[in-house]
Amino acid sequence: IERQLRRDKKDARREFKLLLLGTGESGKSTFIKQMRIIHGSGYSDEDRKGFTKLVYQNIFTAMQAMIRAMDTLRIQYVCEQNKENAQLIKEVEVDKVCALSRDQVEAIKQLWEDPGIQECYDRRREYQLSDSAKYYLSDLDR
């Protein structure tokens, strides 16, 4: 028991505790994740699967936000087909998304290329849209 206590004490001396303070969305979790990647074993397969799902959900969340903003800002789609594409994307329950179907990818691509959606994106300061929206939507095939 004494030997184990000495070992635990020695291990505890090498351990640092850090209190991270900051407002919401200030990067506290991101900092911890980056430290784990750099100094730890990186991401597990489970983590990667979770992030993939999160990326897909972020894509739908961003596009749905822009579709809603199109109505609010009274911006018209240039391509009539995008009214149907918008309806298809609006019907998706974001929290249940695990993958993107080919139809959904094509609908999102066509919407993103529409000059009306691009105008809506340019006016993103008038509604809430993730900073990463353009990154994800510009290269869906990635």
- Residue 131, φ and ψ in degrees, nearest 5: -60, -25
pLDDT of residue 37: 82
Q: Binding-site residues, please?
A: 25-30, 131-132
pLDDT of residue 8: 86
Give 20's contacts (C-beta < 8 A, 6+ positions apart): 28, 31, 32
CATH 3.90.650.10 fits 45-137, yes or no: no
**Residue found under tokens 């850090």:** 18
Q: Binding-site residues for GTP, please?
A: 25-30, 131-132
Extents of the domains making up the chain: 2-39, 45-137
Q: Binding-site residues for Mg(2+), please?
A: 29
- What's the whole-number mean pLDDT along residues 114-131? 95
Tens of pLDDT along 66-116? Answer: 999 999 999 999 999 999 999 999 999 998 998 889 999 999 999 999 999
